[in-house]
Amino acid sequence: MEEIVIPEIDWKNIVAKKIVKMTNDGESDEDISALIADLPEEQQGFARTIYDKRRGVADIARKSKIIVKDMTIHGHYYRAGTFDVKFLSDYVKNHNLSVCGVRAKGIGWKMRTYLTKGVKCAFCGREGKFVAIESEKNSTTPKFRFHVYSVDEDGTETMITIDHIIPRAKGGKDRVENAQPLCYDCNSKKGDKIL
């Protein structure tokens, strides 16, 4: 007689989706705690971890007036949203434009560097494809910034940073003339050297 194989249920995915949905829908702490209490004991710890992370996202979102359902955790950042890099100049020039509730706050020297020198790494040639609106996870007050990312063929995202050609430690200024786009990897290798 042929053995019947019952596929294993991916309970982690199911639990995570349920808790994220309840948080997005504004369900109370009591309702979500009741759901967690009804889960099998081995699932409760995982469920609480997901809920704590999601509640952190929700708190940051509320403080920043950002739509909670659009917020995600991405590495060291809360990500409010993204847009195609080709719209960067429109976004920066139009101070009344907002994405996911985050409003442009003037044009700093970093943004002017992207606009004048492009979004391609000056060393390896990686090119920025999209802009993410992100805030550091460990920040007590959410402060959203615009980060440009390239995407490799395997889907890996790499930040395109702004590098000081002459490092600040060696007298370099925060000016477009002293700046160049470098991917995170190349910028890390360069360090405070003058190349």
What is the mean pLDDT of the segment spanning 35-64? 77
**pLDDT digits over 1-17, tens only?**
555 555 556 778 788 88
CA dihedral angle for residue 48, residue 51, residue 55, residue 57, rounded to 10 degrees: 120
Closest to 70 measured CA to CA, from 29, 20, 32, 140: 20
Better-scored residue on pLDDT, 158 or 8: 158
- What crossing angle do the helices spanning 29-38 and 41-64 adopt, rounded to 10°? 160
Alpha-carbon gap, residue 57 to 67, rounded angstroms = 10
**Other beta carbons less than 10 A from residue 103's beta carbon:** 11
Better-scored residue on pLDDT, 2 or 177: 177
Q: Tell me the whole-structure pTM to 2 decimals.
A: 0.64
Distance from C-alpha of 26 to C-alpha of 168, rounded to nearest angstrom:
46
- Residues 141, 63 contacting (CB under 8 angstroms): yes
Give the percent of the chain with pLDDT over 90.
Answer: 28
The pLDDT of residue 164 is: 95
Rounded to an integer, the average pLDDT of 52-78 is 67
Cα(55)–Cα(58) distance, integer angstroms: 5
